[in-house]
Amino acid sequence: MVIKIVCLRCRQKLTAPAYAEKITCPQCGELNPIIKKPSPATSREQGKIIPPLIGKSMEKLRKLLLGNTQRLSGSSGSSSSPPSKLCALDHSVNQLPAKKRAVLCGVSYKKWKYKLKGTINDVMNMKTLLTQTYGFLERNILVLTEEESDTRLIPTKANIENCLKWLVNGCQKGDSLVFYYSGHGLRQPDFDDDELDGFDETICPVDFLREGMIVDNDIYATIVKPLSEGVTLHAIVDACHSGTILDLEHVYERDKFYQGKMD
């Protein structure tokens, strides 16, 4: 059995053995890759044609657009697709219940002089940990970096706030939520007079110089106060001044802990 192709450079017709992966054109010397397309296979059980396998890049795009899952609906036996990851931020769409959900935000500030290295790697490592070790589904994880093609997942102030609302939206007893942030953290004077040290802690979106920072009071109001009883939230914030970034009532004080051990 032979495979017939056309040279990419000179368009001469070439033939190669079925097992070959590349063939050199004798006329122009161009090395032509051989792309083998498997023929569709018939599924006897479903009576449908199974489409050929597609490349990894196309599979990744398909997962992004279609949500990477399919579920059976009710007793009718008909299948339907859940809301895609791209429409997950649309709260008007009926979301499937998610026992585990995460928002992972890495800001590198690559267009600014105070850019950070490694924040995107941090986010990808956290995503791998959640999916491979703790059973989180990829469709229930929103990743915000400056490398995302979907503009709603660029870590601007508005996008981060919207994703945090998505994180806790409709949460129920037994749910496990994760907020991870890697980026710059600052503080500003406490205008509400509710901080012991006189400062509000903040995280810095990629557009914070124009739109402002996200303060701890707002983070508390968005992802802590709305939690139902029995919902677990893990927040890991890798930033300066982040010890009280969730504005929680109780704070771990390392010095007092070790002092008690010594006493």
Residues marked as catalytic = 184, 240
The Cα-based distances of 52 to 37, 40, 203 in angstroms read 7, 5, 46
Which stretches within the chain are classed as H helix? 56-66, 119-132, 157-168, 208-211, 216-219, 254-262
Distance in angstroms between the alpha carbons of the first and the last residue of the chain = 83
C-alpha 27/C-alpha 34 separation (Å) is 17
The Cα-based distances of 192 to 23, 67, 217 in angstroms read 72, 42, 9
C-alpha 92/C-alpha 83 separation (Å) is 11
- Both tokens of 23, joined, read 């063939």
DSSP state of 140: G
- Both tokens of 22, joined, read 């590349």
Position 250, amino acid = H
| Cβ contact 122:150 at 8 Å | no
The Cα-based distances of 190 to 86, 141, 201, 251 in angstroms read 37, 33, 9, 18
Residue 84: CB partners within 8 Å, gap ≥ 6? 64, 65, 66, 67
CB atoms within 10 A of CB 146: 18
